């Protein structure tokens, strides 16, 4: 590999010079691994627990049996002796006699010997009882059938991994495809001639201006159009949660061993020193996740609506803002912003740079409270300056307009949310000034 | 090079192929090709980021073609760790005499081995650009000397007032560890700033 | 003999146009003998410039090929005309710029090539740095 895979991207100002596609590939692999783990875990739990339990409760057939004997099954493991009830029964199926040791389907051992003894006390040799046998294998039978609901909670773990991993893979693939159409440079045979490319844009009235449907998310409730958020915080949260869980799940057992070593007076200094950086990273993941969670849950959704879309330079519109949550705000600001973004294939990397060319404050509110159930709402005029460049997008270059909402919350992390806008070229006959 | 319209450090003026490669004293595209021929058409161009490897390749390819070898050029980018699909078929269809890989270090070790084996079996030459030596005969090591960087900047400015002194340029080159491409991006910003 | 070159001019000497305007003009092939010309390509296109990879799109493309029987007489000017689209407008941004031009490429015998280009402005978008930031 040309370079080590980096979890961070080197930044200078707004420039990111890490390899985007390597990053995306890493993302896809990370989520793919989670998806694999989730699928594998789910399959295992289904096969080993869920399906057998369901069959025992629904598919097994009832048959009378006789108790012949009973005993306390023992198992000596690293954490002590565990036991389970074992009962010897005799029953007949289709004229064939079966004699087996059994109790329930799982055959799980327990550390609670008293409870197990109590179970065994309910059985006595010679007793006539009812058992349930597996019609596909009559030599398997149980005396006890129950749905151990709490055990099925294990399904939650692989289900989570599956959801996070599957969602992440889908998200990565969807955005990967979009990013490649917009940014990927075509490989050129050297020397690079200025070969003319076919007409782009087709019959669209505004070539190389993003289509309206990409921006218009839904009709507004106060004004005509509600702007979609540039990125849902759920994805960010999901990613950080997954990273946090995975990393700390791996590091935690070793941390326990190290702590136990200290507590028992036999510290393992080598492992302590070796583990320290991993532990710090795990803590950092937790901190970042908690911070993101605070912002996402405490701040609440930010809604932005505009009176018209698309916008045109030199025209005035109206903007509506709604901020929910339970917040003590130091300030809330809304800006109209225009960014230029340029992507360049930089040797073996892809280099993307963003430059803000316009930023105009639309609204500023200071020192106020947002109460739960009572969102902060405000309206303000929105004017696109005359002579401004319209929204523009080509393979490697973009001019992007957006509304940026920035909140300074007392005692909590600041937040910033972006809402893309569409600015069209002025109509024929219009000019700036 | 044509007189730049607009910012002389725009990528259209600085990308590989837009600028002629400045060979060190005594070197030329033909000499490199001779060296390549002497090495059974196997060689490597080694150099750090932004040191002109791709630009040099653009300069050398015509000389390779003039020497009677038909190059098949593969550019590897963005963590691309394998060759294009059906590369073998492409090699046969192109009737290539030499395979040229820009960004050889991107390939996974196994794919590098497969490529070298393919070239050996089909008696094809192999010329690569790479950040680290890749086990092929050294053709040239690219690096950007401050004097060369200054010459290139002057060429790009093409008579416009200087943006910075040679010492300042040397500092930037050192800051970017010899990566001239990053220096050009810096100068782009500087030009825009000074223009206003 | 002088070096061959291409001279392009716009009708009315206009250089600034609006979307929907008709851009028309002519080009002259100078110091080029008729039997040297293999083909001529006339394009009206925009390209990006700045810190990103150069993007380009052709609004109108016309090719004349002597080999295919087109009559190319360098003594006579060639003409071009098109109705300009609504976008993208010419733009002088900071790291992204959009430029429109007419480009004439003449392919000569013995693998030679001559190119001429004349820029024009579509729309009147203000430069990014000057008036818009606040």
- pLDDT for position B95: 75
Its domain, for residue A131, covers 61-144
Between chains, do B10 and C130 touch, taking CB under 8 Å as contact? no
Structural domains of chain A, count: 3
Query: Is residue A323 domain-shared with residue A313, that is, in the same domain?
Result: yes
> Could you tell me the residue ranges of all domains in chain B?
29-78+85-141, 144-195
Query: Is residue A292 domain-shared with residue A380, that is, in the same domain?
Result: yes
Confidence of residue B158 (pLDDT cuts 50, 70, 90): confident
- pLDDT for position A176: 56
Query: Is residue A129 domain-shared with residue A216, that is, in the same domain?
Result: no
Instruction: Tell me the per-residue pLDDT of A307-319, one tens digit each, with 9 for 90 and over.
Output: 998 999 999 999 9
Query: Is residue A90 domain-shared with residue A170, that is, in the same domain?
Result: no
- pLDDT for position A41: 81
Between chains, do B58 and A188 touch, taking CB under 8 Å as contact? no
Nearest CB partner across the interface for C51, out of B188, B195, B196:
B188
- pLDDT for position A215: 67
- pLDDT for position B150: 92
Instruction: Tell me the per-residue pLDDT of B67-110, one tens digit each, with 9 for 90 and over.
Output: 988 888 888 866 678 777 777 777 777 777 899 998 898 888 88
DSSP code per residue over chain B: -PPPSS-TTSHHHHSBTTB---PPTT--HHHHHHHHHHTTTEEEEE--TTSSHHHHHHHHHHHHHHTT--EEEEE--TT--SPPTTHHHHHHHHT-SEEEEETGGGS-HHHHHHHHHHHHHTT-EEEEEESS--SSPEEEE----HHHHHHHHHHHHTTSPPSS-HHHHHHHHHHTTT-HHHHHHHHHHHHHHHH-
> Could you tell me the residue ranges of all domains in chain C?
5-126
Tell me, yes or no, whether A191 lies in a domain: no
- pLDDT for position C37: 92
Query: Is residue A118 domain-shared with residue A13, that is, in the same domain?
Result: no
- pLDDT for position A327: 83
Token duo for residue C28: 């002259």
- pLDDT for position A364: 95
- pLDDT for position A173: 64
Query: Is residue A432 domain-shared with residue A330, that is, in the same domain?
Result: yes
* For residue A23, pLDDT beyond 70: no
Closest residue of B to A22, CA-based?
Answer: B79
More confident site: A148 or A117: A117
Subunits next to C (3 or more Cβ pairs <8 Å) are: A, B
- pLDDT for position A430: 52
Long-range contacts of A265-273 (CB under 8 A, 24+ apart): none
Confidence of residue A326 (pLDDT cuts 50, 70, 90): confident
* For residue A4, pLDDT beyond 50: no
What's the CATH code of the domain at A386?
2.60.40.640
- pLDDT for position C132: 42
Confidence of residue A10 (pLDDT cuts 50, 70, 90): very low
Closest residue of B to A342, CA-based?
Answer: B11
Task: State the average pLDDT over residues A38-42.
Answer: 82
Instruction: Provide the shortest C-alpha distance from residue C103 to chain B (in Å).
Output: 14
| C-alpha to C-alpha distance for A90 and C102, rounded to whole angstroms | 97
Confidence of residue A108 (pLDDT cuts 50, 70, 90): confident
Between chains, do A206 and C86 touch, taking CB under 8 Å as contact? yes
More confident site: A395 or A345: A395
Tell me, yes or no, whether A99 lies in a domain: yes
Residue carrying the six token digits 């806008």 = A421
- Summary mean pLDDT of chain A: 80
Query: Touching check for B75 and chain C: CB below 8 Å?
Result: no
CA distances from A60 to A45, A48, A136, A227 (A): 20, 16, 9, 57
Between chains, do B61 and A347 touch, taking CB under 8 Å as contact? no
* For residue A197, pLDDT beyond 50: no
Chain B partners of A1 at a C-beta cutoff of 8 Å?
79, 81, 105-106, 108
* For residue A210, pLDDT beyond 80: yes
* For residue A5, pLDDT beyond 80: no
Between chains, do A22 and B78 touch, taking CB under 8 Å as contact? yes
Task: State the average pLDDT over residues A176-184.
Answer: 34
Between chains, do C86 and A205 touch, taking CB under 8 Å as contact? yes
Task: State the average pLDDT over residues B24-50.
Answer: 89
Tell me, yes or no, whether A387 lies in a domain: yes
Query: Is residue A162 domain-shared with residue A293, that is, in the same domain?
Result: no
Q: Which of A100-109, A355-364, B25-34, B58-67 has the highest mean pLDDT?
A: A355-364
Instruction: Provide the shortest C-alpha distance from residue A172 to chain C (in Å).
Output: 24
% of chain A with per-residue pLDDT over 70:
79
Confidence of residue A350 (pLDDT cuts 50, 70, 90): confident
Tell me, yes or no, whether A32 lies in a domain: yes
What CATH number should be reported for the domain whose range is C5-126? 2.60.40.640
Task: State the average pLDDT over residues A203-223.
Answer: 81
Instruction: Tell me the per-residue pLDDT of A139-167, one tens digit each, with 9 for 90 and over.
Output: 999 998 876 666 566 667 777 777 777 77
Which of A144, A159, A190 is the last residue before a domain boundary?
A144
| C-alpha to C-alpha distance for B76 and B131, rounded to whole angstroms | 13
Instruction: Tell me the per-residue pLDDT of B161-196, one tens digit each, with 9 for 90 and over.
Output: 888 999 999 999 999 988 898 999 999 999 998 877
What CATH number should be reported for the domain whose range is B29-78+85-141? 3.40.50.300
Tell me, yes or no, whether A221 lies in a domain: yes
Q: Is C15 helix (H, G, I), strand (E, B) or coil?
A: coil
Tell me, yes or no, whether A49 lies in a domain: yes
Nearest CB partner across the interface for C52, out of A358, A397, A428:
A397
Least confident of A143-152, A197-206, A389-398: A197-206
| C-alpha to C-alpha distance for A244 and A285, rounded to whole angstroms | 5
Q: Among A100, A116, A104, which residue's Cα sits nearest to residue A68? A: A100
Query: Is residue A301 domain-shared with residue A354, that is, in the same domain?
Result: yes
Tell me, yes or no, whether A247 lies in a domain: no
Query: Touching check for A367 and chain B: CB below 8 Å?
Result: no
* For residue A205, pLDDT beyond 50: yes
Nearest CB partner across the interface for C94, out of A197, A355, A388:
A355
* For residue A285, pLDDT beyond 80: yes
Return the sign of the alpha-carbon dihedral for residues B12, B13, B15, B20: positive
* For residue A179, pLDDT beyond 70: no
């Amino acid at each position: 590999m040309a370079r080590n895979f980096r979890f961070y991207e080197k930044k200078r100002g707004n420039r990111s010079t890490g390899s985007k596609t390597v990053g995306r590939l890493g993302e896809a692999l990370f989520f793919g691994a989670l998806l694999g783990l989730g699928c594998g875990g789910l399959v295992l739990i289904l096969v080993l627990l869920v399906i057998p339990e369901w069959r025992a409760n629904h598919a097994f057939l009832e048959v009378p049996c006789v108790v012949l004997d009973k005993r306390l099954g023992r198992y000596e493991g690293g954490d002590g002796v565990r036991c389970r009830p074992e009962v010897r029964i005799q029953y007949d199926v289709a004229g064939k006699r079966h004699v087996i040791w059994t109790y329930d389907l799982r055959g799980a051992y327990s550390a609670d010997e008293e409870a197990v003894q109590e179970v065994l006390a309910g059985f006595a040799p010679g007793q006539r009882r009812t058992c349930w046998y597996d019609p596909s294998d009559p030599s398997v039978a149980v005396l006890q059938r129950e749905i151990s609901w709490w055990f099925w909670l294990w399904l939650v773990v692989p289900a989570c991994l599956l959801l996070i991993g599957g969602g992440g893979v889908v998200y990565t693939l969807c955005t990967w495809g979009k990013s490649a159409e917009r940014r990927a440079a075509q490989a050129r045979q050297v020397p690079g001639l200025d070969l003319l490319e076919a007409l782009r844009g087709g019959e669209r009235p505004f070539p190389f201006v993003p289509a309206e449907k990409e921006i218009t998310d839904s009709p507004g409730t106060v004004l005509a159009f509600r702007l979609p958020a540039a990125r849902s915080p759920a994805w960010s949260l999901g990613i950080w949660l997954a990273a946090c869980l995975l990393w700390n799940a791996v590091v935690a057992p070793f941390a326990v061993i190290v702590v136990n070593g200290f507590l028992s007076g036999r510290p393992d200094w080598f492992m302590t020193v070796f583990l320290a950086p991993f532990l710090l990273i795990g803590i950092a993941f937790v901190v970042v996740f908690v911070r993101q969670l605070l912002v996402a849950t405490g701040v609440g959704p930010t809604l932005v609506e505009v009176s018209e879309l698309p916008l045109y330079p030199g025209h005035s519109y109206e903007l509506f803002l709604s901020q929910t949550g339970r917040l003590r705000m130091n300030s809330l600001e809304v800006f109209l912003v225009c960014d230029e973004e340029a992507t360049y294939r930089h040797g073996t990397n892809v280099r993307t740079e963003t430059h803000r060319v316009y930023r105009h404050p639309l609204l500023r509110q200071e020192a106020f409270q947002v109460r739960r159930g009572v969102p902060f709402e405000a309206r303000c005029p929105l004017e696109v300056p005359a002579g401004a460049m319209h929204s523009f997008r080509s393979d490697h270059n973009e001019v992007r307009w957006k509304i940026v909402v920035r909140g300074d919350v007392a005692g909590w992390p600041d937040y910033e949310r972006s809402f893309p806008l569409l600015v069209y070229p002025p109509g024929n006959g219009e000019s700036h000034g | 090079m044509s007189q730049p319209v607009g910012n002389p450090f725009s990528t259209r003026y600085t990308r590989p192929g837009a600028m002629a490669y400045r060979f060190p004293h005594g070197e030329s595209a033909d000499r490199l090709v001779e060296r390549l021929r002497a090495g059974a058409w196997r060689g490597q161009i080694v150099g750090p980021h932004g040191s002109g490897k791709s630009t040099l390749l653009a300069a050398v390819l015509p000389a390779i073609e003039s020497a009677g070898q038909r190059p098949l050029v593969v550019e590897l980018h963005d963590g691309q760790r394998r060759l294009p699909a059906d590369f073998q078929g492409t090699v046969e269809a192109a009737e290539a005499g030499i395979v040229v890989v820009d960004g050889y270090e991107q390939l996974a070790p196994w794919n590098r081995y497969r490529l070298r084996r393919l070239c050996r079996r089909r008696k094809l030459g192999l010329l690569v650009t790479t950040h680290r030596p890749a086990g092929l005969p050294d053709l040239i090591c690219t690096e950007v000397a401050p004097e060369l960087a200054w010459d290139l900047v002057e060429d790009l400015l093409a008579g416009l007032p200087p943006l910075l002194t040679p010492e300042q340029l040397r500092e930037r080159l050192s800051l970017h560890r010899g990566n001239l491409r990053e220096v050009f991006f810096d100068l782009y910003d500087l030009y825009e700033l000074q223009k206003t | 003999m002088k070096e061959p070159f291409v001279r392009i001019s716009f009708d009315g000497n206009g250089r600034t146009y609006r979307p929907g305007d008709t851009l028309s003009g002519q080009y002259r092939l100078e110091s080029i003998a008729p039997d040297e010309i293999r083909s001529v390509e006339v394009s009206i296109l925009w390209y990006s410039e700045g810190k990103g990879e150069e993007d380009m799109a052709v609004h109108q493309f016309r090719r004349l090929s002597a080999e295919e029987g087109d009559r190319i007489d360098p003594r006579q000017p060639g003409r071009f005309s098109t109705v300009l689209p609504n976008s993208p407008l010419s733009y002088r941004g900071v790291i992204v710029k959009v430029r429109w031009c007419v480009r004439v490429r003449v392919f000569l015998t013995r693998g030679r090539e001559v190119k001429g280009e004349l820029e024009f402005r579509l729309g009147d978008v203000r430069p990014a740095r000057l008036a818009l930031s606040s």
